[in-house]
Amino acid sequence: MKFESEKTIYSQIGANRIKTVFLMAVFTVFITAVVYIFTQALGYQSSSGLFFVGIALVVTGIMNFVAYYNSDKMVMKMAGAQLVDVKTDPQLYKTVENLSIGSGLPMPKIYIIPDEAPNAFATGRDPNHASIAATTGLIAIMNKTELEGVLAHELSHIGNYDTRLMTVVVILVGIIAMLADFFGHFMFFGGGDDDRDSKNSLFIVLGILAAILAPIAAQLIQLAVSRKREFLADATGSLLTRYPDGLADALEKISTYERPVKSATPATAHLYIANPLGTGHFKKSFANLFSTHPPVEERIKILREM
C-alpha cells in the first residue's frame, strides 16, 4: 500500500529535501551573524571577530553533519528512550512490524520512554535509518486501534521524510540556544583579554537583544516547519489503518492529559504527535500563536469527517 499517489509522495519528499538544505543554510547564516555581533559586543578586534566567525562556520558545518547522520540517536538520548525488541515488548513490536509491512517501509527501531504522559514521535534521516518512540503512558491507555493510529501517523512522518527535516531542527536550534547562553555568561562573568578593544555600545545593545530574542527566534524557526506536515501524517496514517477514528480517539485521550512529558523541551516539542509540554490554561490561550502543532480539535474534526 502506498501512502499517497506517486506524484504527491515524491513531490513531498523532494520538497522536504529542499527545505532541509534551505534550513541548514539559513541557520548557518544566522549563526554567523550572531557570532559576529557577540564578538563585537564583547570588544574583540575586527580580525578576532572574523576569526571567531570562521570558527563558528566550521563548528556549524560539523554540527550539521553530525545532526544529519546521528540526529535519531541524539534525540532518543535526550528523551531518555530505551530500545525494545520483539522479546522485550512483543505486542508493540508486532504492531509496528505489521504497519511497516502494510506501508512498504523498512522496520524502524522501536523505543520506549518511561513517562506517564501519553505521547509518541518518530525520528531519523530516512526510512532506512528511522526510529519510533512511544511513552509508557501512551501504551497503557490506548486500545489496539488507537495505538495503531498513533504508530501509523509516526510511520507516515518517516515515509514522507518529515523526520529528516524535523530532527535537523532540534540540533540547530540547540546551537542557537548555546550561543545565547555563552554570550550571557561571558558578558557578565567573562574575564579580561588582551585582544579586546573598548566595547562598542551599538554592538552591546545588538548582542543583548540577540541573546534575549534567540529563544523566540528558535521557536519561530520551529514553527516554520509547516504544520501541514501533521495534517498530512494524519491523513496518510489513516489511509494505512483504514480507520481514521482510531487516531481521532487517540488524539482525544492524549489531549485530555495535562501533565507534560518530563524529557520534552521546546527544542524537541515539534517531534511529538501532540504538544508534549502540557495543556495548562496559559498554553491553551497561546496555542494557535506559538504551538508547533495544529489545534487538536481541528485535527480530530478532519479525521472524523474522513
| Ramachandran quadrant class, 124 (left: phi over 0; alpha: psi -120 to 50; beta: rest) | left
User: Quick one: cell of 274?
Assistant: 501532540
| Cα 41 to the center of its chain, rounded Å | 31
The helix (run of H) or strand (run of E) holding residue 19 is helix 6-41
Backbone phi, psi, residue 201, to 5°: -60, -35
Q: Which residues are catalytic?
A: 154
> How many CB atoms are located within 10 Å of the residue 200 CB?
14
Q: Taking the alpha carbons of 147, 151, 156, 162 in that order, is the dihedral positive or negative?
A: positive
CB burial class (10 A; 0-12, 13-18, 19+) of residue 242? exposed
Beta carbons of 135 and 80 less than 8 angstroms apart: no
